Structure formats: C-alpha cells, structure tokens
Amino acid sequence: MFVIDRYLLRQFVQTFAICFLSLTGLYIVLDLFTNIDNFLRSGHKSGSVLGFIAQFYWYHSIWFFNRISGLLTLVSAMFTVAWIQRNNEMTALMAAGVSRMRVLVPIVIAVGGVSLLSVANRELVIPRYHAEMSRRPQDPGGDMPQGVSSCYDNETDVRLGGKHSFADQMRIEEPSFLMPPALADYGKQVVADNAYYEPARGGHPTGYRFKGVREPKNLDTRPSLPQNGKPVLITPRDAPQWLEPGQCFIRSEVPFELLTGDDGAQAFKELSSTKQLVAALHNPSLGYGADVCVAVHLRLVQPLFDMTLLFLGLPLVVTRESRNVFLAMGMSMAITVAFTLTAMMLQKMGENEMVPAALAAWAPLMIFVPLAAGMTESLRK
C-alpha cells in the first residue's frame, strides 16, 4: 500500500470517527437528560445507575450507527477528497502522472467496507439484541406499562388486544382477545388478568398463555377449540401437563413485539434481519404485504445505494477548480437529497402497491447509476 493510500484512509477513518462520536454523543446527551427521571428509576432498580445507562446506550449506539452510517460515509469521503483538493495534493499527484481514479481507490474501498460493516451490523448484531434496542427512553427498563397495539392474527382471525404491555416480561395486562364466530362457542372474547407470550416449546405451540381467566367461565372443564384441524384455544382439560387450572392458551404466530406500543410494527421491521422479514412474509398470521416486500428489496440494494451516492458526489468535488470545501460538500449533499427524495417517493409508491415492490426499490439505481457513470468519466483523466 502506498503512502498516499494510507494517508487517505487515515483521513477518512478520522473524519468518520469524529462525526460518528460527535453525533452519537449529542444524541445520548439530549436523549438522556430529556428522560433522566426514567433512567434514574430503572437504574436504581437494576442496582447501578451508571451501569444501566451505559448498557442502554451501548445497544442504542449500535442501532444509531445503522441509521447514520450511510450518510457519514458520504460526508467523510467528500471531506477527505475536498481536503486534499484544498491543499493542492491532488494537483501534485496528477502532475506526477497519477490519475484521479487511482487516487480515489482507497476512498472507494473504505466506503465499501463501511457499507458492508453496516450490512453485517443490521443482519447479525441488531436482530440478536432486538429486545434491548426496542426499549424506548421513556421506558428504558421495559417495566413501565405501555399501550397495546391491537392487531389481527390473519391465520386464525383472532383479534389480539389488551390494556397494557410490559416488555421485560412479554406480558399483556388484562388481555382481551376477540374470537371469530368459528371459535366463539364459549363466548366472543377471552379475558384474563395477564397473558404471557411463549415461543413453541415443551409440547405447546407458539402463542399466549392466559393466567387468571375471567371469560369464558368454567373453561377448565371444557374441550379445546380447533380450527382447520389445529387447536387454537387450548384448555387445561386437554393439556394438563403444561396448563394449570385458571389458565388457557391461544395459539398465535403474532410476535409480542408487534403488540407493544404504537410503533411496534415499525420497530419489528427495522430491528429484524432480512431473513426474519422474509419469514414474516410467509407467516400466515401476520399477513404482511407490499410494505415488507419493499423493505426486503431495500435491504438488498442499500450497499449499491451507498456506492451510487459516492460516485455521484465525488466528481462534483474532484473536478471543481474551487477550493471551497463547504461549497463542494454542499453540492454533494444537494444531489444526495435529490437521490433520497426519489427513493422515498418510490418506496411509498411501492408500499401503496402503485408500483411493484422490486421496481420501487431498484428504480433509483436505474435512474441514477447511468448519471453516476457519466459523471465519473472525468475521474479517469
């Protein structure tokens, strides 16, 4: 590796690190002091206020990196190139017979590396800590009552709802599940003191265990109610091994995360891996459609988006005679905004089924890649 390559990589990494740490620090300070009372309460309960805060924002910093890494790579690349332009280093290299494209190779590699790191973070790290990252600063410990976002199980037609949800226990307080006519033999709804989400294990399917059942009455002695040959409402009579008196179990593949708060569905899509989103598309209980299809395609094209934006912005900085760093970066940001608005517009069209999901995600590349290819012609000189 040549000295100039190491120099450019060092400049890029330093700029990226400074921007990321600055923005992350600002985010933490504003978020923490806005919700300091909640953190003090949860920290005292956990035994260490500082330890609790550090753990909470460690996970959220990983999430924050995923949100801003694309923008920061572009800013870092533009600043690095504009800086060597300002100091006449690019002119000296070109006078020595080095092409612009050769000078920019380490920047392109660095942007590609950060883009791949972001992919690995999104697909491997974030889904693993889904529960921790879904905690909000208003409820950092997950033990405060949150609203329940009612939704239908599209496989069984059961409407899931309740009074409050508690993320730390995966518990719904005073659950009220509305049963469809085909499962209403014992009553139109199942009401209890609490319901706990449980994945499939120990001989029972995925679903919700009701404790302290209030309605229907005398459920302990009644048989389970099936649908299409599979039990949906399971009673202690038919499952005495894992259901106690006063309990029942409703089979459902609707994850608990979708019921927590008003933004449960959005958080589920944002914090799930692409593999999990594809599985959700095939989950008959969820009934996901075009919005998740578009999200899956966007996951696939995101690294290409990052590289396209890079090659749209680099020529504006490299080929300008002006040494005004901020003017050059401003022009790059302008074309970034144009690209982003186009992508957002097409994304909304895809989610509303105005265009196919694949086209909604890939169309920005079809529009801007030829433009980027034409603009980078000047870099080969």
For residue 325, what pLDDT is reported? 59
SS3 for the chain is CCHHHHHHHHHHHHHHHHHHHHHHHHHHHHHHHHCHHHHHHHHHHHCCHHHHHHHHHHHHHHHHHHHHHHHHHHHHHHHHHHHHHHCCHHHHHHHCCCCHHHHHHHHHHHHHHHHHHHHHHHHHHCHHHHHHHCCCCCCCCCCCCECECCEECCCCCCEECCCEEECCCCEEECCEEECCHHHCCCCCEEEEEEEEEECCECCECCEEEEEEEEECCCHHHCCCEEECCEEEEECCCCCCCCCCCCEEEEECCCCHHHHECCCHHHHHHHHCCHHHHHHHHCCCCCCCCHHHHHHHHHHHHHHHHHHHHHHHHHHHHHCCCCCCHHHHHHHHHHHHHHHHHHHHHHHHHHHCCCCCHHHHHHHHHHHHHHHHHHHHHHHHC
Region of poorest pLDDT, from 69-73, 93-97, 218-222 = 93-97
Q: How far is CA 238 from CA 18, 182, 258, in A?
A: 61, 19, 29
pLDDT for position 324: 59
pLDDT at position 280: 84
pTM for this entry: 0.80
Tell me the residue type at 180. Answer: P
Say what the pLDDT of residue 152 is.
Answer: 86
- pLDDT band of residue 322 (cuts 50, 70, 90) is very low
The pLDDT of residue 44 is 83
Given a cut of 90, whether residue 93 has pLDDT beyond it is no
| Cβ-based neighbour number of residue 288 at 10 Å | 19
pLDDT band at 264 (very low <50, low <70, confident <90, very high): low
Residue 115 has pLDDT above 80, yes or no: yes
pLDDT at site 262: 60
**46 C-beta neighbours (distance < 10 Å), count:** 15
What's the one-letter identity of residue 296?
V
Please tell me whether the peptide bond between 199 and the residue prior to it is cis, using omega within 30 degrees of 0. Answer: no
Check pLDDT > 90 for residue 117: yes
pLDDT-based confidence at 217, cuts 50/70/90? confident
Region 148-164: mean pLDDT is 88
pLDDT of the residue at 65: 93
* pLDDT score of 178 more than 80: yes
Confidence grade of residue 319 (pLDDT, cut at 50, 70, 90): low
**Does the pLDDT of residue 320 top 60, yes or no?**
no
Residue range 23-67, pLDDT digits in tens: 999 999 999 888 888 888 888 887 888 888 899 999 999 999 998
Instruction: State the pLDDT at residue 250.
Output: 92
**Which residues are within 8 A (CB) of 53 and not within 5 positions of it... i.e. 6 or more apart?**
32, 39, 43
Percent of the chain with pLDDT over 70: 94
What's the pLDDT band for 323 if we cut at 50, 70, 90?
Answer: low
Give the pLDDT mean for 73-95. Answer: 79
Per-residue pLDDT band at 94 (split at 50, 70, 90): confident
261 band by pLDDT with thresholds 50, 70 and 90: low
Q: How confident is the model at residue 266 (pLDDT cuts 50, 70, 90)?
A: confident
Residue 378 has pLDDT above 70, yes or no: no
- Compute the mean pLDDT over every residue in the chain, rounded to the nearest whole number: 85
**pLDDT at residue 133 is higher than 70:** yes
Mean pLDDT of 271-282: 87
Check residue 1 and give its pLDDT: 52
Rounded mean pLDDT, 326-338: 76
